[in-house]
Amino acid sequence: MTPRLRVGSVTVHLLSAGWYLTDGGVTFGIVPRALWEREERPDESNRIRFGLRCLLVEANGLRILIDTGYGDKVSPRTRQTLDLHDTPGLVDSLAAAGFEPADVDLVIDTHLHADHCGGNTTERGGRIVPAFPRARYLMQRGEYEVACRPNERTRATYLAENYRPLEDAAVVDFVTGDADVTPAVRLELAPGHTADHCIVRIHDGGETAIFLADLAQRPVQLERLAWVAAYDVLPLVSIETKRRVVSEAAAQGHLLVFQHSDAVGRLVRTEQGVRFEPLPLD
Ligand SMILES: [Zn+2]
């Protein structure tokens, strides 16, 4: 059974595009291993597990897919480096929830790193085409422009094959800044990981859930604002964005949905600050 959340009248299916292993030191940035390994023990190669959670949101008559994992175009070498486990992958996970790719009306990319948008496109008969044949794709214009001009630092993760073919197929809707996608789904700038990185707010009937994307990979990074991943391009901005989101989420009891961790839960205020309380998923 695919885990689901209800947010008012909105159904959120918690899908998975698999998982991979990544360096724990990079994930915790300037935090020494002696501190972070108390939270999470890495394997013998210093790696920790990153899930590839994607959401299918049924809201206001639309089926909206949020992020698409690495997809099926990953080279054997990269697959090995990442120790990528994607069988079952996103399409299998969609099927388990009762949907096929043609059921998706809209794909939202929180940002264009390869682990978030690789599944946007797929290869058919030697051509790279949209993987969701009926869908429009929504993304930040600023993120797209940066992704189309990768530099030495971003080249390994900004792969044109994941987004250029969408523009060639004229299926992209670019937005700049916060955007109400439907009355219940809002794409919101949450800069730091990249300048135009977004989170997604799902709100209906007085309830709110926030899909965090790469605002934080682990709950402890919300509890301790200085714990920012080394791959964030604007780490000081990440801290300010986290301060804002954490303060609102703790005050209003929003449900927080992580992407690279399996966690779903809420922040509660304590004398020391905030503490994340996970919610059991069925
Ligand atoms: Zn990521």
pTM metric for this prediction: 0.97
Going from the Cα of 112 to the center of ligand 1, the distance in angstroms, rounded, reads: 9
Going from the Cα of 271 to the center of ligand 1, the distance in angstroms, rounded, reads: 31
What is the distance between the alpha carbons of residues 18 and 115, in angstroms, rounded to a whole number?
Answer: 10
Going from the Cα of 116 to the center of ligand 1, the distance in angstroms, rounded, reads: 6
What is the distance between the alpha carbons of residues 103 and 135, in angstroms, rounded to a whole number?
Answer: 8
Domains of the chain: 4-278 (3.60.15.10)
Going from the Cα of 114 to the center of ligand 1, the distance in angstroms, rounded, reads: 8
Going from the Cα of 219 to the center of ligand 1, the distance in angstroms, rounded, reads: 15
**Low pLDDT (below 70) residues in the chain:** 282
Give residue 282's pLDDT: 65
CB distance 133 to 102 below 8 Å = yes
Alpha carbon 177 to its chain centroid, in Å, reads 17
Going from the Cα of 162 to the center of ligand 1, the distance in angstroms, rounded, reads: 15
What tokens were used for 53?
């959670």
Give residue 74's pLDDT: 97
What is the distance between the alpha carbons of residues 218 and 11, in angstroms, rounded to a whole number?
Answer: 24
Going from the Cα of 27 to the center of ligand 1, the distance in angstroms, rounded, reads: 10
pLDDT digits (tens, 9 = 90+) for 101-125: 999 999 999 999 999 999 999 999 9
Give residue 280's pLDDT: 87
Give residue 147's pLDDT: 98
Going from the Cα of 94 to the center of ligand 1, the distance in angstroms, rounded, reads: 20
What is the distance between the alpha carbons of residues 277 and 89, in angstroms, rounded to a whole number?
Answer: 28
Alpha carbon 101 to its chain centroid, in Å, reads 19
